[in-house]
């Protein structure tokens, strides 16, 4: 029984993140999961998110001074942060290889990853701007 409820909560958390298009944080996910599993607690949502990240079902997006956001899209892609509403929108342009040139220019370093983030407006905020 406990296991069944756990599975239902996990499914609900994963579905909520997959359905959201703005890469939500735990507080937003909690509000949505509560509509599906009314008795769920915030602590359970946090634990479930941690487990889903550990198992590779979700990717955390951490930014200094901000709550962790969660991404259900596991393939490599880029993000645009909306300066209007804070939504994180997926982008799929092809980028040149930014790792190899950096490593070649700085052999004294060990380059492990690179982050590129666009800033701008999501479709809704862009539409609102035009009024
Ligand atoms: Zn926006
Ligand atoms: Zn994403």
| 26-39 pLDDT, tens digit each | 999 999 999 999 99
**Residue 81 C-alpha to ligand 1 middle, in angstroms?**
8
pLDDT, position 1:
45
Half-sphere exposure of 59 (CA within 13 A, CB side): 11
* Residue with tokens 């009024």, as numbered in its chain: 131
pLDDT of res. 7: 86
Q: What is the pLDDT of residue 4?
A: 63
Residues 6+ apart with CB under 8 A from 34: 40
Q: 78-130: which CATH topology? A: Dna Ligase; domain 1 (3.30.1490)
Q: What pLDDT shows up at residue 94? A: 76
State in words which class domain 2-71 has: mainly alpha
Query: What residue ranges do the domains of the chain occupy?
Result: 2-71, 78-130
**Helices vs strands, H then E, count in the chain:** 5, 5
Rounded to an integer, the average pLDDT of 52-71 is 93
Share of the chain above pLDDT 70, in %: 95
Instruction: Tell me how far the alpha carbon of residue 104 lies from the centroid of ligand 2, in angstroms.
Output: 29
Burial of 58 (0-12, 13-18, 19+ CB in 10 A): buried
């Amino acid at each position: 029984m406990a296991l069944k409820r756990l599975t239902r909560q996990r499914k609900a958390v994963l579905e909520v993140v997959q359905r959201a298009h703005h890469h939500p944080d735990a507080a937003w996910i909690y509000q949505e999961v509560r509509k599906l599993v009314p008795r769920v607690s915030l602590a359970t949502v946090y634990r479930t998110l941690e487990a889903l990240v550990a198992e590779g079902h979700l990717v955390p997006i951490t930014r200094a001074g901000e709550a962790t956001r969660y991404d259900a899209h596991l393939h490599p892609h880029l993000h645009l942060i909306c300066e209007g509403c804070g939504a994180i929108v997926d982008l799929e342009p092809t980028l040149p290889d930014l790792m190899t040139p950096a490593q070649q220019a700085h052999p004294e370093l060990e380059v492990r990853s690179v982050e590129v983030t666009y800033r701008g407006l999501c479709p809704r905020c862009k539409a609102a701007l035009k009024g």
